Structure 1
Amino acid sequence: MAFRGVLSLFVCLLATVYAASYDGVIRAVGDGRYEAYMIPPNKANHASFIEQLPDGQLTLAWFSGTKEGADKCSIVVAHLPPNGTQWSQAALISRRDGYSNQNPVLFYDSKLQLFNLFHSQQPANDGEHQAKVWQLVSKNNGLNWTAPVEIFKVDGSFDRNRIISSLDGGLIFPIYYSVSGDSHQDSAMKLSSDHTDWVGYKVDDSNYLVQPSVIRPTPKQSYLLSYFRDRRAEHIYSSSSTDEGKSWSKPQKTSLPNNNAAIQSIVLANGHVALVYNPTTRARNPIRISISLDGGKTWTYAKDLESSSSDNVEFSYPSLVQSPDGFIHVSYTYNRDTIKYVKFMENWIHQ
């Protein structure tokens, strides 16, 4: 009995210390990395997205609720001021009774000087086939937001990855459709010349391939590359476009595995391509960042951001951005308990 009592006390103390780290404070890890754990508003937290504003502020958005797909699952945002050392407590910005909000996408529109947040919304506990995409706008860097407005009204509409600019000054918004069954899920691009109205273009032969992450490997060149999540949990796929996202080559397998979980890619300031993903076809663990020196064709460097010997943990749904000082900022789901934030320079990956 005495042993059990001591063990129970130890577990309670350990849990208290562990939970206390969910405080948003950025701490040096000691190997050139810094990390923080967001303050979780609710029990289940997932699908984060990170964006940097022109003044240097970082903003994180994710969905939080009792569980994914549940009633009142909400979109929340937290902020990190320029040179800040602690993320703010998350603020609730979009919730609807009887519905579940998911997959926030942040985008600062420098042309209109507006901060946008897009997210999917579906009837609670009813799957993804009736999802739509909604939009909120902030004129003061995320301090206040407009009421959500439905913009993509086709059943099964979903967003996930970063909006990029087209060469003519318009926008390219990668989306996907989740209708019924994995084989009836595919990808599309929404294009907008005025940053307001959107025209859709389907990615042909993209059955099973969702959540496209689009990059422009070389600035000012009309060549786009997209990476796709594979619903069959086999490979990351890629496809290219030479007409600013209107048409795409037939998606092909890459050398990288996929576990039917989200990925995200960006082009770094030096032209290298960074991709964060789970390097497995099984569990959502580990989570890894890889670097390509040749525009996303091959991957020279790779390093795990997080790993565990257990398959019963989850590190998933990454988002990343690079700040002007060279730091790479990554956020990802930390076992659904909270969202983890890490930052590091590219040379940390090369070590």
Structure 2
Amino acid sequence: MKIVESRAIPTPCLSNHASNLMELENGDLLCTWFGGSMEGSSDISIYLSRFDKAAGAWSEAVKMSDDEDRSEQNPALFRHPSGQIWLLYTAQLKTDQGTAIVRMRRSDNDGTNWGPIETLFDREGTFIRHPPVVNPEGKLLLPIWFSSMKNAFGDDRSLVQISGDGGVSWTLQEVPHSEGCVHMNIMPSCRVAFYRRRRADNIFRSVSSDGGLSWSVPEATPLPNNNSSIQALECSDGRLLIIYNHISAAGRDSESPVPPWVQDKQAFLAECDVTGNSAIWGVPRNPLIIASSKDLGKSWTEELVVEEDAHLLSAHDNKGAFRGDYSYPSIIETSDGRLQISYSYLRDYIKHVTLTP
């Protein structure tokens, strides 16, 4: 595995995070992320850029949402069986993730034009990170989790929204005993899924024998996790790849039950019931690693260190909260056989890297 090209995706924002990639039918790419002054601020909106494969360049970012009262986050791109592209994202009242709902826009012409903003799920506290998958029966499976400030988000749990009519109606299936396991990433085969862990100990894994309609209790893999997002990929050669931060909590001074975007820590703690199962925040988000598996994620082999400078500091980050932060990655395999990844680079911009497999 080798890096062959790296690019910064243009952005008008000081802070940029949570990217997601998609290949288009002509070989171009779309990348979406959220940007603004700071995560959780009401000026955080969803942005979209297109990579022109022939020209080898990303377009200027287009703002896709602009709710003045809500922080719009965690966008995901999905190719619907009809051919439509869906752009899904969350919208919360500032830093309160317990108020999040899920919204979407649709495109009928490969992302050139987009329809109006719609509300997909209006139950408050509903969060997404990864796009839906289509199971072998043709049902849509959208992994979600319910987020709550109680226990400093340590009680967040994963569920799957299931639709048998293309997304007109949905039923909800809970992942058993998944408290603390979020960002469920279902593989397209619907045999295995991977999770971020609020306790910042390990990446977790569960399996399904019925096309993703039900899942086993999540269990720890050998890979560490820092309570930050991961993404996995089923390759055309049969391997699984995963991109993640190879680090876990270790009682550092920076670690606490308070998320880094919270401005008033005492007010946050006053609203929480901190326990031994509370989330752990503040674990460094480096190094950024790609690993591979040939046994559905039971064991892993390191393939590449993408980023590892733990001391690099953004010019926009006076407090050093995002020092050495290379996080929230996305990974896809494109039709030319190459791998494409994107990730937050010090929150300054989204970095796009092309690799040979």
Could you say which TM-score interval applies, normalised by the shorter chain? 0.7 to 0.9
Residue 33 of structure 1 aligns to a residue whose secondary structure is: strand
| Residue deviations 1:86-137 (CA, integer Å, cap 9, x gap) | 011110111101111000010112x21101000000012x420010000100
* 2:315 is aligned with 1:344: no
C-alpha distance in structure 2 between counterparts of 1:309 and 1:69, whole Å:
25
1:182 shift after superposition: 2.3
Is the 8 Å Cα contact of residues 3 and 353 (structure 2) preserved in structure 1?
no
Structure 1 unpaired stretches of 5+: 1-30, 347-351
Structure 1: distance between partners of 2:23 and 2:163: 22
Correspondent of 2:183 among 198, 211, 223: 211
Kindly state the Cα deviation for residue 243 of structure 1 after the two structures are TM-superposed: 1.7
Aligned match of 2:307: 306
For the structure 1 residues 210 and 317, does the alpha-carbon distance in structure 2 shift closer, same or farther, using more than 3 Å as the test? same
Cα pair 1:53 1:108 within 8 Å, conserved: no
8 Å Cα contact 2:205/2:297 also seen in 1: no
Counterpart for residue 119 of structure 1: 89
2:276 paired residue number: none
Query: Between Structure 1 and Structure 2, whose CA radius of gyration is higher?
Result: 1
Secondary structure at the aligned position of 2:154 is classed as: helix
Matched, 1:93 2:55: no
Aligned to 1:4: none
What stretches of structure 2 of length at least 5 have no aligned partner? 249-282, 313-322
Give the whole-Å Cα distance in 1 for the aligned partners of 2:3 and 2:185: 27
Q: How does 1:189-208 map to 2 (within 5 A)?
A: 189-196=160-167, 197-208=169-180
1:331 to 334, 342, 354: 342
* Pairing partner for 1:273 from 219, 231, 240: 240
- Residue identity matched to 1:104: P
2: CA distance, partners of 1:98 / 1:301: 43
Give distance in 2, aligned partners of 1:340 and 1:32: 13
Structure 1 CA distance, aligned partners of 2:24 and 2:115?
A: 18
| 1:194 Cα offset (Å) | 1.9
Three-state SS of the structure 2 residue aligned to 1:288 is strand
Q: What is the identity percentage for the equivalent residue pairs of Structure 1 and Structure 2?
A: 32
Answer yes or no: is 1:254 the counterpart of 2:226.
Answer: no
Cα contact 1:293–1:300 (8 A) shared by 2: no
Letter in 2 for 1:191: I
- For residues 46-68 of structure 1, give each alpha carbon's deviation from its aligned partner in whole angstroms, at most 9, with x where no partner exists: 00000112221210000010110
**CA–CA distance in 1 between the matches of 2:285 and 2:54?**
32
297-306 or 326-335, larger mean C-alpha shift: 297-306
Alpha-carbon contact 1:288-1:306 (below 8 Å) kept: yes
8 Å Cα contact 2:221/2:297 also seen in 1: no
Preserved contact between residue 155 and residue 179 of structure 1 (Cα < 8 Å): no
Give the distance between the partners of 2:343 and 2:178, measured in 1 at CA.
26
1:198 to 1:117, Cα distance in 2 relative to 1, 3 A = same
Name the structure 2 match of 1:297.
Answer: 298
Q: What's the CA shift for 1:83?
A: 3.4
Aligned CA distance change for structure 1 residues 73 and 225 (closer, same or farther; 3 Å): same
CA contact (8 A) 2:290 2:306 kept: yes
Change in Cα spacing, 1:242 to 1:84, as seen in structure 2 (3 Å) is: farther
Q: Which residue of 2 aligns with 1:84?
A: 55
The secondary structure found in structure 1 opposite 2:57 is: coil
- The corresponding residue for 1:227 is 194
Amino acid at match of 2:324: V
Aligned-pair Cα RMSD in Å: 1.4
> What does 1:29-40 align with in structure 2 at a 5 Å threshold?
32-40=3-11
Higher relative helix content: 1
Contact 1:292/1:301 (<8 A) preserved: no
Q: TM-score, normalised by structure 1?
A: 0.85
Structure 2 distance, partners of 1:72, 1:146, is 22
Alignment partner of 1:238 out of 177, 199, 205: 205
Deviation at 1:32, TM superposition (A): 4.4
| Aligned AA (1:142) | G
TM-score, L = length of structure 2: 0.84
Match of 1:24 in 2: none
Q: Does residue 102 in structure 1 map to residue 73 in structure 2? A: yes
